Amino acid sequence: MMRLLFPLTLVVLSACTTVPPPPSAPQPQAVARVIHTPASNRCSNLLDDYETSSLMDDKGRKQILDSVSGTWAQTRDSCEQLRLALLLSQPGRSGKDRKKALRLLKELLSGEKPLDGQAHQLARLLHDQLQQLHSQQLRTLELRHRLKAQHTASRQLAEKLGNLQSQLQQLKNIEQNINEKEQSIITPSTGNISHEPP
């Protein structure tokens, strides 16, 4: 019986061993996407300062802006000019800063300082957005002036209406006084009538 058990155990144990799966088609390896910046691209990493600045507090933003502003003042490089315009156009910046950014972008797009393709596209996009924002602000300002003028005109009309109503009431009072006097002349009071015996 022992002899039978041994081969049977071997068969059972061999069935329990793991069999490697059949070879499958080779798996494609993940291809890392690497963006190479050509050496001619002087305006690389334009958005780095913008992104960094947007994550900082006011003091940090001012330091980055001062740094980029100083670099642009020294070099007058078109990429630094675009970088400065990006920082000046961030949300929360003053209207004065956005106007300065728009002026810098107009100068860049005039062709005096050439930009590479992507930087030029970014400058055009930012310029168009700032120009549209500026136009909307002008329209808003115009509408506010119109609303203020209409409010003033409405208040003046209300004052005139009040004056006219007051004058109308005075005329009604005068008319009532005249009517009462006429009535007293037409129908004299009975105390003034003398009764003569027949």
Please report the DSSP string for 144-171 in residue order: HHHHHHHHHHHHHHHHHHHHHHHHHHHH
- Spell out a b/e string for 123-155, using b for 16 or more CB atoms within 10 Å of the CB, else e: beebbeebeeeeeeeeeeeeeeeeeeeeeeeee
195 lies in some domain = no
Mean pLDDT of 99-113: 87
pLDDT digits (tens, 9 = 90+) for 136-188: 988 999 999 999 999 999 999 999 999 999 998 999 999 889 888 888 888 76
- Average per-residue pLDDT in the chain? 77
Check pLDDT > 50 for residue 38.
no
Would you state the pLDDT for residue 54?
Answer: 85
Burial zone of 86 (CB within 10 Å; 0-12 exposed, 13-18 middle, 19+ buried):
buried
Domains held by the chain: number: 1
155 lies in some domain = no
153 lies in some domain = no
Which ranges in the chain belong to alpha helices (H)? 2-16, 46-54, 58-75, 78-88, 95-109, 117-186
Q: Residue 160 and residue 157: Cα distance in Å, rounded? A: 5
User: Which range of residues forms the domain containing residue 66?
Assistant: 46-146
117 lies in some domain = yes
Q: What percent of the chain has pLDDT over 70?
A: 73
Torsion sign, CA atoms 89, 95, 100, 104: positive
Would you state the pLDDT for residue 190?
Answer: 54
pLDDT digits (tens, 9 = 90+) for 41-62: 567 777 887 888 888 888 888 8
123 lies in some domain = yes
pTM: 0.55
13 lies in some domain = no
Q: Residue 139 and residue 147: Cα distance in Å, rounded? A: 12
Would you state the pLDDT for residue 30?
Answer: 34
Most confident of 8-12, 119-123, 189-193: 119-123
98 lies in some domain = yes
Would you state the pLDDT for residue 146?
Answer: 92
36 lies in some domain = no
Mean pLDDT of 75-87: 90
